[in-house]
Chain A
Amino acid sequence: MLNDKAILDEFVMEAREHLSAVETDILGMEGASVQEQKNLVDRLFRAVHSIKGSAGFLGLTAIGSLTHAMEALLSLVRSGDMRVDNALADLLLSGVDHVQTLLDDVENSNAVDVSAIQGRLEALLEIRLPDAARRERETPALLCTQESLLPFPVSAYVLNRIDKAKNLYLLRYDLGSMEKEGKKPMAVIAGLLSAGEIVEAELSLETFDLRRALPRGPLSYQVLYASILEEDLIPMVSGLDPQAILPVSRDEACALQVSPQEKKQALVCLPEKKKAPSQAPCTSGEPTPPMASPPRTDFPEKIPHIQDKSGSIRIRLDILDRLMTLAGELVLVRNQHLLASELSANLSQRLDTVTTELQQTIMRTRMQPIGNVFAKLPRMVRDLSHKLEKSIDLVMEGQDVELDKSILEALADPLTHLIRNACDHGIESPEERRAVGKPETGRIHIAARHEAGQIILVLTDDGRGMDTEKIRQKALKMGLKRENEMALMSKEELCQLTLLSGFSTADRVSEVSGRGVGMDVVKTAIETLGGTLSLSSLEGEGSRFRISLPLTLAIIPCLTVRVGEDRFAIPQVNLEELVRLYDGEISTRISCVGAHEVCRLRESLLPMVRLKEVLKRPEPFTEAIQSQIARTPRKKEDAGNSLTFAVVKVGSHRFGLEVDAVIGTEEIVVKPMHPTLKSLPLYSGATIMGDGEVALILDIEGIARHTAVPLAASAETATHKPVTTQSVLLTASGPHEQFAMALQLVRRVEKISKKAIERMGDREFINLDGVPTRILRLENILPVSPAPDSESFHLLLPKFSEKPFGILFSEIRDIVDIPLDLATKNVPGKGILGAAIIHDRLSLFLDPFELIESAEPDWFEDKKKRQEKKQSRILLAEDTVFFTQLVRSYLESDGHRVQTVANGREALRRLREDPFDLLVSDIEMPEMNGWELIREVRKDAMLNRTRAIALTALATDADRARTLAAGFDAFEVKIDRETLRRRVSEMLSHNPDDHRMDA
């Protein structure tokens, strides 16, 4: 039987299962109540016994004798002759470890010398044994069948502890025929244990190695079995023919209480039975363990632990993998089918549903509870706390949370490392803890939970936390960061430094941890799985690690995109959003910052990567390459009128990946890259698309590394001006439209009653504070729906109007703070700056000045005069879209030609390229602000005569002075249209050689 690898493998598997339960139970025994202990010990005993029995069957003597010794100790505990204490637990755990080691190389386990551990086990036994029991153990009770002595001795101790009500049988197993019949030893033993107990058992030959040669004569394994079952039922539980079952009577055996010197033999006679030829008695040096069987009612289960999993079944991994692959293929076929489908929609849908469910169910078969990984931790914490002389408690939560098997396996090491760290560096010694008023026992808490398609693992300890000062020092010493960089970092960020490679603030490299190999390896391991690791810490109070992991690896949702002729897949986990820019937006939003292209997306700067260019260049990008790409203009034919990119993220950093087209979203089966290609950074795998062609899956992190794209996007926006949101007043007049106006344009809103409105011709007026105020109804100026009749209205009075007027609204809806993005599409009517979606409604932005101008053109007579002038070219430098529109509209309505740029640097460039008559510039802009711009302009010999007006929201005297000192000719507030227009026309009509004017 030793020959059969399958049987050996099964033995190893079952033995390991038993052992893990054993370990848990041993740990549980310490500190359990007496009753609980009793149950635990029983369980322990059975488990160890089971292993011993099978090992005996298979001739694994080392394992057998080790478990035998452990069993001996446990039986003493069970009978109350030995106390459970630390020493016992330690020794038992040590024994477990040794057996595990033996199981690792089970075929050669017999050659391993286990005498040391065995000696210790037996020594403890010797010490603890009460004298009476000791005597009994040394007394053999010789039993026999009808014809001869039992082939092996049984001690009186053993016999006395067997329930008198049980019958004894000698079971003779012929190992050779068992193998032929395909009976498995583990199953046999399980069967026996289900109905009784194995008192003693032995192989009938001396040590041999079956692998060398078959022994002569039949191989027989004899078992002394105690059971309450009657003889006729024994064949059933033992699987033996009745001929191989010999009842053993012990009527007079119990009378044997001989001293070690006297060895009387008690011969017991038996009813007539056929019997097997007698075997040569075998020597057994081991004292046999007692087999007292506790009353059955104590046991909820009859067989140790195997029955915990009733309702479950063991499946070979390769079968599961095959099942997974088939499910994946089915998904692919379904996808193909969906493409080519002409079936009725109903059928298609059902196919779809069933396939999806099948796939999901099969994925679940790979799911295992995270408790499997947690299981090793208590033991580790216990050992560590003893070693480090600390007192540490481990609390685990969420062991039932399930994870894909492969993730679980990869998680074991990082988790272990984190716990080790917590024990070693986190939790303080009892004295330290007492000194700071903490309870002596440190606490490590690990919890797992599901959250939105991810598994979240949180590990906290109440130890000493992270010393940010030490981290700072270490980072300086290692040259990881500079002093000034760290001065800017928050405590959180300083803690994150520990995740960098090579970092370890342990003063000494303990063998437990602190090898300096630490946290970055953990972080990498977790990120390889597609997860993230973050940490936070409070000095003196503890640390907290948070790991998030995806639920499964093999089938992922992704976005398919096209570049040139090729298709690629971007995993959804890396995808944040999709953006498409049209026409002019492309040039206004995308600009070059040094060697990199960036896009302004909602007031943050996103570095851009052109996938097409990346694919062409296998070498990692240098600065030169980046510049080359950035400076290459997009060809009109390529780009067409639109530019599509995906905002992708890696960790917490984002960048934009430009593609030719987005195809769609799909669930794809991830196949690994060919082994020879694994080192290509761009790809994380390949997949087969619905049409049967292979597509490559992009590795976003690889792309980021290859292109060295600057990922510090957040730092760049810090220099941007803080006013990135607009306060906007939302109003309504007629029932169909929603209007919006920048709050800065609003002076006041008055509630007026219908009765107070006076009419003069076709104009309406109202008396407000003694001032006749012209009322504008939007429906008279714009193609919008009229305000419904009502007793009262709201009148919005704009700022900066020379002649008083107000705009009529039926409703004031809200004031919102939004990042403003005006769409510049054609919106009918003069007076509308643009439109944006606010609170899910299209809102039309009003320009009050244009409105009044179209309503009362006479108020603006001088405008005509201005329009007769030659058209001047004005460069407007302004980064906020809203104001750009606003100011541009003022200037263009006067007939000037306006070009806009979004920042100072751009402005400088444009000024150098084309001639302009006037520069109107914002002060607060990214890249180069207004002050810097004007200084550059004044320095430049070609440009320094350019007239320049500063437009700003800043209105203090200091700012004024500064602005003028920097070189601007004038200084205006942004939204004061009339003053601005006047100033502009003044500037333009002046002789350029005149000196600067004061504001």
Chain B
Amino acid sequence: MIPHSQHCRQVCTFAIGEETYGVDILDIKEIHTENRFTPIHHAPACLRGYVNIRGQIHLIVDLRVLLGHSPCHNLETSRILLFKPEAGEAFGVLVDRIGDVCPAPENRIEPMDSPSGRNFNLSGDSALRRLSTGILKNERELVTLLSGRSIYQHLAGLFSEARTE
């Protein structure tokens, strides 16, 4: 394992559909296989619902829906990533499949608004543009980097947006 140095983040990757995403591993508290959700009616579709983790109620975001894919429930490989409180309170995301932890050195990260970044064909682009912090060019694949904080802020913003509609 490459030690985590100041300039080289470690990123935990996961898959949504055919696409690979990653989150800074320091933001992640734990990963679960829990699949019993309590749906919250009236909440936006991107919220999968509440889940009980060791007595604490967490709000789980359905990343598939958030990123514009159609929802797909009960995949055997789906996992919940819970974020640390610094990223946002009591929440996590639901992903299709967990990938490896890989290093994300600065020199291999392409920021979102660079010319070449814009060329990438991103689905659900407006949401992704807001949430994504860059693209990591790995040997085998491209990993779109997301940030827990921005996902949380997106959540918080959902309701004020709804108000102004």
Interface residue ranges, A against B (CB under 8 Å):
329, 332, 566, 615-616, 618, 671, 674-677, 679-683, 686, 688, 692-696
B59 neighbours in A (Cβ, 8 Å) = 674, 676-677
Q: Is the CB of B50 within 8 A of A694?
A: yes
CB distance from B73 to the nearest CB of A (A): 13
Task: Give per-residue flags for B31-46: 1 if the beta carbon is below 8 A from chain A beta carbons, else 0.
Answer: 0000010111111000
Q: Is the CB of B36 within 8 A of A677?
A: no
Q: Is the CB of B158 within 8 A of A694?
A: no
Q: Is B1 an interface residue (CB 8 A)?
A: no
- Given the known inter-chain contacts A674-B89, A696-B38, please indicate yes or no for A688 contacting B159, CB distance below 8 A: no
The 10 closest A-B pairs by CB, nearest first: A615-B41, A694-B50, A694-B38, A674-B59, A618-B42, A676-B155, A676-B156, A679-B159, A688-B52, A694-B52
- Given the known inter-chain contacts A671-B57, A675-B89, A694-B57, please indicate yes or no for A682 contacting B156, CB distance below 8 A: no
Q: Is the CB of B159 within 8 A of A566?
A: no
Q: List 8 additional A-B contacts (Cβ < 8 Å) besides A676-B159, A677-B47, A696-B50.
A: A615-B41, A674-B59, A676-B155, A680-B43, A681-B42, A682-B42, A694-B49, A696-B38
CB distance from B149 to the nearest CB of A (A): 13
Q: Is B91 an interface residue (CB 8 A)?
A: yes
**Which residues of B from 68 to 106 have beta carbons under 8 Å from A?**
89-91
A332 to B52, CA, bound (A): 12
Interface residue ranges, B against A (CB under 8 Å):
36, 38-43, 47, 49-52, 55, 57, 59, 89-91, 152, 155-156, 158-159
A686 neighbours in B (Cβ, 8 Å) = 38, 50, 57
- Nearest CB to that of B55 among chain A residues? A329
Q: Is the CB of B51 within 8 A of A694?
A: yes
A566 to B43, CA, bound (A): 15
- Nearest CB to that of B50 among chain A residues? A694
- Given the known inter-chain contacts A566-B38, A680-B40, A694-B50, please indicate yes or no for A332 contacting B156, CB distance below 8 A: no
A671 to B52, CA, bound (A): 12
- Nearest CB to that of A682 among chain B residues? B42
B155 neighbours in A (Cβ, 8 Å) = 676
Q: Is the CB of B41 within 8 A of A682?
A: yes
CB distance from A706 to the nearest CB of B (A): 8
A82 to B12, CA, bound (A): 77
A692 neighbours in B (Cβ, 8 Å) = 36, 52
B40 neighbours in A (Cβ, 8 Å) = 677, 680, 683, 696
B158 neighbours in A (Cβ, 8 Å) = 676
Main SS class of interface, A: mixed
- Nearest CB to that of A685 among chain B residues? B57
A677 neighbours in B (Cβ, 8 Å) = 40, 43, 47, 59, 159
A681 to B90, CA, bound (A): 20
- Given the known inter-chain contacts A566-B38, A615-B42, A694-B38, please indicate yes or no for A688 contacting B51, CB distance below 8 A: no
Q: Is the CB of A332 within 8 A of B38?
A: no
- Nearest CB to that of B37 among chain A residues? A694
B41 neighbours in A (Cβ, 8 Å) = 566, 615-616, 618, 682
Main SS class of interface, B: mixed
- Nearest CB to that of A618 among chain B residues? B42
Complex partner residue of A674 from B39, B42, B55, B91, CB under 8 angstroms? B91
CB distance from B74 to the nearest CB of A (A): 14
A676 to B40, CA, bound (A): 12
Q: Is the CB of B57 within 8 A of A693?
A: no
A680 neighbours in B (Cβ, 8 Å) = 40, 42-43
Complex partner residue of A688 from B55, B152, B156, CB under 8 angstroms? B55
23 residue pairs A–B, Cβ–Cβ below 8 Å? A332-B55, A615-B41, A615-B42, A671-B57, A674-B59, A674-B89, A674-B91, A675-B156, A676-B59, A676-B91, A676-B156, A676-B158, A677-B40, A679-B159, A680-B43, A683-B40, A686-B57, A688-B52, A693-B36, A694-B38, A694-B49, A696-B38, A696-B40
A566 to B42, CA, bound (A): 14
Complex partner residue of B57 from A615, A681, A682, A688, CB under 8 angstroms? A688
A892 to B55, CA, bound (A): 63
A333 to B42, CA, bound (A): 30
B47 neighbours in A (Cβ, 8 Å) = 677
A591 to B50, CA, bound (A): 37
A694 to B39, CA, bound (A): 9
A679 neighbours in B (Cβ, 8 Å) = 159
CB distance from A417 to the nearest CB of B (A): 29
A679 to B159, CA, bound (A): 7
B91 neighbours in A (Cβ, 8 Å) = 674, 676
CB distance from A350 to the nearest CB of B (A): 24
A682 to B43, CA, bound (A): 10
B159 neighbours in A (Cβ, 8 Å) = 676-677, 679
B152 neighbours in A (Cβ, 8 Å) = 676
- Nearest CB to that of B90 among chain A residues? A674
CB distance from B53 to the nearest CB of A (A): 10
A692 to B59, CA, bound (A): 15
- Nearest CB to that of B157 among chain A residues? A676
A686 to B56, CA, bound (A): 11
Of the candidates A676, A686, A688, A695, the one having the most CB atoms from chain B within 10 angstroms of its own CB is: A676
CB distance from B156 to the nearest CB of A (A): 5
- Nearest CB to that of B160 among chain A residues? A679
- Nearest CB to that of B47 among chain A residues? A677
- Nearest CB to that of B42 among chain A residues? A618
A695 neighbours in B (Cβ, 8 Å) = 38
CB distance from A332 to the nearest CB of B (A): 7
A867 to B101, CA, bound (A): 89
CB distance from B104 to the nearest CB of A (A): 28
A673 to B24, CA, bound (A): 27
CB distance from B133 to the nearest CB of A (A): 20
A762 to B103, CA, bound (A): 107
Q: Is the CB of B90 within 8 A of A566?
A: no
A293 to B38, CA, bound (A): 69
B43 neighbours in A (Cβ, 8 Å) = 677, 680
A694 to B48, CA, bound (A): 13
Q: Is the CB of A693 within 8 A of B38?
A: yes
A602 to B159, CA, bound (A): 42
B36 neighbours in A (Cβ, 8 Å) = 692-693
A696 neighbours in B (Cβ, 8 Å) = 38, 40, 50
- Nearest CB to that of B91 among chain A residues? A674
A329 to B57, CA, bound (A): 12
B51 neighbours in A (Cβ, 8 Å) = 694
A696 to B43, CA, bound (A): 12
Of the candidates A566, A674, A693, the one having the most CB atoms from chain B within 10 angstroms of its own CB is: A674
- Nearest CB to that of A677 among chain B residues? B43
A618 neighbours in B (Cβ, 8 Å) = 41-42
A683 to B49, CA, bound (A): 13
CB distance from A232 to the nearest CB of B (A): 56
A681 to B40, CA, bound (A): 12
CB distance from B151 to the nearest CB of A (A): 11
CB distance from A274 to the nearest CB of B (A): 57
A332 neighbours in B (Cβ, 8 Å) = 55
A527 to B91, CA, bound (A): 30
- Nearest CB to that of A565 among chain B residues? B39
A681 to B163, CA, bound (A): 13
